[in-house]
Chains A and B, each alone.
Chain A
Amino acid sequence: MTKNYSCLLGLLLFVFACTSCSQDDNYVQVQPAPTSPVSLNLENVPYSTLSEYNFFEGNMLDLKPVYGVLPYKITSGLFIDYAKAQTFVWMPKGSKASYVNDHSVLDFPNGAVLITTHYFENVLPEKNTQMIETRLLIKKEGEWVLVNYKWNDEQSEAILTTEGSFVRVKIEDDNQVKSVNYKIPSYDECFTCHNKYDEILPIGPKPQNMNQNYPFEDGIKNQLKKWNEFGYLDTSTIPSEIVSVVDWADVSQPLDLRVRSYLDINCAHCHSDKGYCEYAPMRFSFNETNDFTNIGVGVKHNFEIEEGFSHIVSPGNPEESALLFRLKSTLDEYKMPIMGRNLQHKEGVQLIEQWINSLKNKTL
Chain B
Amino acid sequence: MKTKLLFLIICLAPFVIKAQSSSNTCATADGATHITNAGTYSITSFDGTAPTSCFGIVANNGEWFAYTPTSDYLVEVSSDITGNEGKDTRLSVLEGTCGALSCLESNDDYGSATVYNRLSYVKFSVQANTTYYISWDNKYDASAFDFILTETPIQPLSFTEQTRLGGGTLRGAVDMNNDGLDDIVSIVAKNVNDSNVYDINIQEQINGGSFIASFFGNDYAISAPYSAGWSLAAGDYNGDGYNDLIFGDGSGINIVKATNNGTSYAIAETRNGIFTQRTNFVDIDEDGRLDVFICHDIAPNVYYMNEPSGLQYYQGADPNGVPEGLGIYPSGGNYGSVWVDYDNDGDIDMFMAKCGGGPARRTNQLFRNNGNGSYSEVAAAANLADTIQTWSGAWGDYDNDGDMDAFIGGYNGASHKMMSNNGNGVFTDVTATTNLGFFTYTGIDNVPVDFNNDGFIDILSNGNILLNDGNPANMSFTVFTSGMPPQGAIGDLNNDGFMDVVSGSTIYYNNGNLNNYFKIKLVGNGLNKAGIGARVEITTSSGTQIRDVRSGEGFRYTNSLTTHFGLGSDTNIISVKVYWPSNTVDIINNVGANQTITLAEGSTLSTQTEVFAEDLTLFPNPAKSTLYVKTKYNLNDAIYTVFDISGKRVLNSKFGKNNTVDVSSLSTGTYFLRVMQDGLSNTQKFIKE
Q: List the interface of chain A (C-beta within 8 A of B).
A: 163-165, 168, 170, 179, 181, 183, 186, 188-189, 191-192, 195, 197-198, 274, 276-281, 302-304, 306, 331-333, 338-339
Contacts and interface: CB of A to CB of B under 8 A. Distances in A.
Interface stretch (B87-95, B148-156, B437-445): B437-445
Contacts, number: 83
B358 A183 contact: no
A191 B356 CA distance: 14
Given A183-B251, A188-B331, A279 B487 contact: no
Given A164-B272, A304-B462, 19 more contacts: A164-B273, A165-B272, A168-B194, A179-B194, A179-B195, A181-B194, A183-B251, A188-B332, A191-B331, A192-B298, A198-B357, A277-B356, A279-B412, A302-B412, A302-B441, A304-B463, A331-B227, A332-B250, A338-B250
B504 A188 contact: no
Contact of A188 (B273, B411, B413, B503): B273
Interface string B482-521: 0000110000000000000001100000000000000000
B331 A195 contact: yes
B361 interface: yes
Contacts of A339: 250, 275
19 contacts: A163-B273, A164-B251, A164-B272, A164-B273, A165-B272, A179-B194, A183-B251, A188-B299, A188-B332, A197-B357, A198-B361, A279-B356, A279-B389, A304-B443, A304-B444, A304-B486, A306-B486, A332-B251, A333-B230
B414 A186 contact: no
Contacts of B331: 188, 191-192, 195, 198
A111 B25 CA distance: 102
B175 interface: no
B195 A181 contact: yes
A276 B356 contact: yes
Contacts of A165: 272
B362 to A, nearest CB: 8
Contacts of A333: 229-230, 249, 556
The B interface, classified by DSSP as helix, strand, loop or mixed, is loop
A339 B250 CA distance: 8
B224 to A, nearest CB: 13
Nearest to B359: A197
Contact of B357 (A168, A170, A188, A276): A276
Nearest to A177: B194
Interface in B174-209: 193-195
Interface residues of B, number: 39
A276 B355 CA distance: 9
Nearest to B252: A164
B503 A280 contact: no
Among B298, B358, B412, B556, find the residue whose CB has the most chain A CB atoms closer than 10 A: B298
B194 A303 contact: no
Contacts of B358: 197-198, 274
Nearest to A302: B412
Contact of B444 (A197, A274, A281, A303): A303
B29 to A, nearest CB: 52
B461 to A, nearest CB: 10
Nearest to A183: B251
A82 to B, nearest CB: 14
Contacts of A303: 412, 443-444
Contacts of A186: 273
Given A164-B251, A188-B331, A198-B361, A279 B414 contact: yes
A305 to B, nearest CB: 9
A303 B413 CA distance: 10
A261 to B, nearest CB: 26
The A interface, classified by DSSP as helix, strand, loop or mixed, is loop
Contacts of A189: 275, 298
Contacts of A192: 298, 331
Contacts of B414: 279
A165 B487 CA distance: 33
Interface string B269-281: 0001101000000
Given A188-B298, A189-B298, A168 B389 contact: no
Nearest to B442: A302
Given A163-B273, A304-B444, A279 B355 contact: yes
Nearest to A279: B389
A165 B275 CA distance: 13
Interface string B16-30: 000000000000000
B499 to A, nearest CB: 19
B193 to A, nearest CB: 8
Among A168, A183, A189, find the residue whose CB has the most chain B CB atoms closer than 10 A: A189
Contacts of A164: 251, 272-273
Interface string B344-363: 00000000000111100100
Contacts of B356: 276-279
A351 B361 CA distance: 36
Contact of A302 (B355, B389, B413, B556): B413
Contacts of A183: 251
Nearest to A281: B412
B298 A191 contact: yes
A166 to B, nearest CB: 8
A81 to B, nearest CB: 12
Contacts of B361: 197-198
Contacts of A278: 356
Contacts of B299: 188
A133 to B, nearest CB: 16
A306 B462 CA distance: 11
Contacts of A280: 412
Nearest to B300: A188
A279 to B, nearest CB: 4
A304 B230 contact: no
Contacts of B298: 188-189, 191-192
A303 B332 CA distance: 22
Nearest to B388: A279
A332 B227 contact: yes
A333 B226 CA distance: 12
A303 to B, nearest CB: 6
A304 B355 contact: no
- Enumerate the 8 nearest inter-chain pairs by beta-carbon distance, A residue then B residue, closest first: A332-B229, A179-B194, A197-B358, A332-B249, A333-B229, A332-B250, A279-B389, A188-B298
Nearest to B299: A188
B504 A306 contact: yes
Nearest to B413: A302
Contacts of B441: 302
A161 B301 CA distance: 21
B554 to A, nearest CB: 11
B275 A188 contact: yes
Nearest to B189: A331
Interface in B338-384: 355-358, 361
Interface in B453-493: 462-463, 486-487
A343 to B, nearest CB: 11
Among B169, B195, B250, B389, find the residue whose CB has the most chain A CB atoms closer than 10 A: B250
A105 B656 CA distance: 57
B363 to A, nearest CB: 13
